[in-house]
Amino acid sequence: MKQKYIFVTGGVMSGIGKGVTTASILLILQSKGYKATAMKIDPYVNVDAGTMNPVEHGEIFVTDDGGECDQDIGNYERFSEKSLNKNNYLTTGKVYQSVINKERNLEYKGKCVEVVPHIPNETIARIKKAGKEADADFVLIEIGGTVGEYQNLLFLEAARMMHLKNPKDVLFVLVSYLPIPSTIGEMKTKPTQNANRILNEAGIQPDIIVGRSSHPIDETRKEKISTFCNIEPDDVISAPDLESIYEIPLLLDKEKTGEKILKKLELKKKKKDLSEWKNFITQMKNLKKKVRIAIVGKYFETGDFVLTDSYLSVIEAIKHASWNLNHKEEIVWLSAEKYEKDEKAVKELKQYDGIIIPGGFGTRGVEGKINVIKYCRKNNIPFLGLCLGMQLAVIEFARNVCKIKDASSSEFEKNCTHPIIDVMPDQKSILKRKSYGGTMRLGSYKCNIKPKTTSFKAYKRKEIDERHRHRFEVNNEYREDLEKKGLIISGVNPDHNLIEIVEIKKHPFFVGVQFHPEYKSRPLSPHPLFSEFIKKSIQR
Ligand code: GLN
């Protein structure tokens, strides 16, 4: 079968679930027996998402091959249960960088290199490459941002050019918002009509419009959209707000989205169905008991609002593990800085069933997190430290158990006397060159697990691999001291002898991992470490 391409664009405003819609269509096509992959094209000039502050952009998702991507890639992986790679993520910066490199290498053979067609052509080449290398029947391409903004125009142009060449292989989906202003009390279609018009101006006619709103779209409104947006009423898909994003594939399936796509592309449904997913949703919607998990971090305060996007995969991993253990998650956000001096606040931590300290960068909030870890360690509260969370657990242990009073990380204090956490020699030269983008220890690395440890009990395997994103490591010079005082090094990278997992004895669950297990948790297959952590939290 020739590859088919489905472009997903967004109308009216961002944040209405374009990524989840793309991930859901991906799952639906898979459930009809097709091999599908998805990619995200972000309009910003950053070459990848790695150099952005999470408050600015949300979580940075990491693929096995070390790509630092937008969080939508995480949704694609969670919905499709498949691992993606760097091919699945593109930005304006990446496209321009490669065009400029080619120009420098004379690959355009003396031609004048222009924004059009060279930038869209490079985009098209990369879309095709992603599809070919994944050996996919379908490539879904989500174009970041909203139609009508200046930044993503060249990607719409690439989509238009692909359609022009192969009209039978390319489909357009517009995910648009339908507001219901409280003063009017009626669902309005005009913003969506305008979004459609903007696409038309770019030479694109949507084949399907997914209408996002707080309520379902009625027939009257479907007719209206049909008339003004040149599509059949049947091709307007009603997508009202739902309790969980994981219900969206079922909703789109009920609206026959998969069948419509296949029909338009003249394809037949092969066997297979969504029954496993359906069972999972049924179970998830009937949870009665609760487990209360606190996350101590610093990337969720923006003005008067709490934005939890920065920790998206951690949240999802908690959900997957809890649901699988028949509990509904209750996640509480705790700001690290509060625990720096407030003794009373620290004592109040006992109300939680389990505590997670996720990844992070820089000094802010660090001392508060160390106080939280100390309390968890001493009071038998299940604790899971992720990346920075693990590094801080080692620092806390060094300070308070090994009595190395000024134990620290050279990330916080460049010339500290006891850099329990330090940079590797190769990282030192990278930092000297100020070559920050894409140079952390990124992607999947092997780890050997020590038998008879909590980690082994969770993984039930001796060899694992997990995804990394950090520059600093536990300093092997202190390894002996730490082990002598009881820190268990339960996971080590066999190739570089780096400490990957630490834990302590006589504690229900106290585990710190240098990697990010959250990236590999999926709804139908929760991550074993999260499962074990949640299990102990439930027991508490
Ligand atoms: N800042 C730490 C490092 O670079 C931890 C990074 C993280 O938590 N992802 O090593």
Q: Where residue 318 sits, what CATH number does that domain have?
A: 3.40.50.880
User: Which residue's CA is the nearest one to ligand 1's atom 8?
Assistant: 359
Task: Provide CB contacts within 8 A for 51, sequence distance 6+.
Answer: 436, 437
User: Which residue's CA is the nearest one to ligand 1's atom 3?
Assistant: 470
Interstrand relation of 4-11 and 138-143 (parallel, antiparallel or unpaired): parallel
End-to-end CA distance of the chain: 54
Q: 466 C-alpha to center of ligand 1: Å?
A: 15
User: Which residue's CA is the nearest one to ligand 1's atom 5?
Assistant: 388
Does 82 lie in the same domain as 16?
yes
Atom of ligand 1 nearest to the CA of 389: 8
Can you give the residue range of the structural domain that contains 185? 4-279
pLDDT at 262: 96
Does 238 lie in the same domain as 338?
no
Does 28 lie in the same domain as 174?
yes
Which candidate in 163, 518, 527, 532 is catalytic?
518
Choose one of 279, 297, 330: the last residue of a domain.
Answer: 279
Which candidate in 418, 468, 470, 516 is catalytic?
516
Q: 24 C-alpha to center of ligand 1: Å?
A: 32
Choose one of 279, 305, 333: the last residue of a domain.
Answer: 279
Choose one of 261, 279, 297: the last residue of a domain.
Answer: 279
Q: 446 C-alpha to center of ligand 1: Å?
A: 18
Residues touching ligand 1 (Cβ under 6 Å) are 359-361, 387-388, 411, 469-472
Does 142 lie in the same domain as 185?
yes
Does 328 lie in the same domain as 261?
no
354/379 Cα distance (integer angstroms)? 11
Does 425 lie in the same domain as 349?
yes
Q: 309 C-alpha to center of ligand 1: Å?
A: 18
pLDDT by residue for the chain (540 residues), tens digit each? 689 999 999 999 988 999 999 999 999 999 999 999 999 999 999 999 999 888 777 899 999 999 999 999 999 999 999 999 999 999 999 999 999 999 999 999 999 999 999 999 999 999 999 999 999 999 999 999 999 999 999 999 999 999 999 999 999 999 999 999 999 999 999 999 999 999 999 999 999 999 999 999 999 999 999 999 999 999 999 999 999 999 999 999 999 999 999 999 999 888 778 999 999 999 999 999 999 999 999 877 666 666 778 899 999 999 999 999 999 999 999 999 999 998 899 999 999 999 999 999 999 899 999 999 999 999 999 999 999 999 999 999 999 999 999 999 999 998 999 999 999 888 888 988 899 999 999 999 999 999 999 999 999 999 999 999 999 999 999 999 999 999 999 999 999 999 999 999 999 999 999 999 999 999 999 999 999 999 999 998
The DSSP element (H or E) to which 368 belongs, if any, is helix 366-378
Helix axes 153-165, 115-133, angle to 10 degrees: 70
- Pocket probe for ligand 1: among 391, 430, 516, the residue whose CB has the most ligand atoms within 8 Å is 391
Q: 440 C-alpha to center of ligand 1: Å?
A: 9
Q: 170 C-alpha to center of ligand 1: Å?
A: 41
Does 465 lie in the same domain as 405?
yes
Atom of ligand 1 nearest to the CA of 387: 8
Does 305 lie in the same domain as 275?
no
pLDDT at 304: 65
Render 434-466 in DSSP notation, one character per residue: T--TT-SEEEEEEEEEPTTSHHHHHH-SSEEEE
User: Which residue's CA is the nearest one to ligand 1's atom 6?
Assistant: 470
The DSSP element (H or E) to which 334 belongs, if any, is strand 327-335
What tokens appear for 417 in the block? 């006397």
The verdict on whether 516 is a catalytic residue reads yes
Does 143 lie in the same domain as 81?
yes
pLDDT at 9: 97
In degrees, rounded to 5, the angle at the alpha carbon of residue 459 between the alpha carbons of residues 273 and 82 is 30
Count the helix, strand and coil residues of the chain and give each as a percent rounded to the nearest 5.
Answer: 45, 25, 35
3-state secondary structure 248-275: HHHHHHHCCHHHHHHHHCCCCCCCCCCH
Kindly state the greatest CA–CA separation across the chain. 75
User: Which residue's CA is the nearest one to ligand 1's atom 1?
Assistant: 361
Instruction: Report the number of distinct structural domains present in the chain.
Output: 2
The verdict on whether 57 is a catalytic residue reads no
The verdict on whether 387 is a catalytic residue reads yes
Question: Where residue 178 sits, what CATH number does that domain have?
Answer: 3.40.50.300
- Pocket probe for ligand 1: among 361, 364, 498, the residue whose CB has the most ligand atoms within 8 Å is 361
Residue 517 burial (CB < 10 Å; 0-12/13-18/19+)?
Answer: buried
Q: 304 C-alpha to center of ligand 1: Å?
A: 27
pLDDT at 439: 92
Does 379 lie in the same domain as 315?
yes
Does 374 lie in the same domain as 260?
no
Does 336 lie in the same domain as 219?
no
pLDDT at 342: 87
Cis amide prior to 451 (ω within 30 degrees)? no
Which candidate in 387, 418, 507, 532 is catalytic?
387
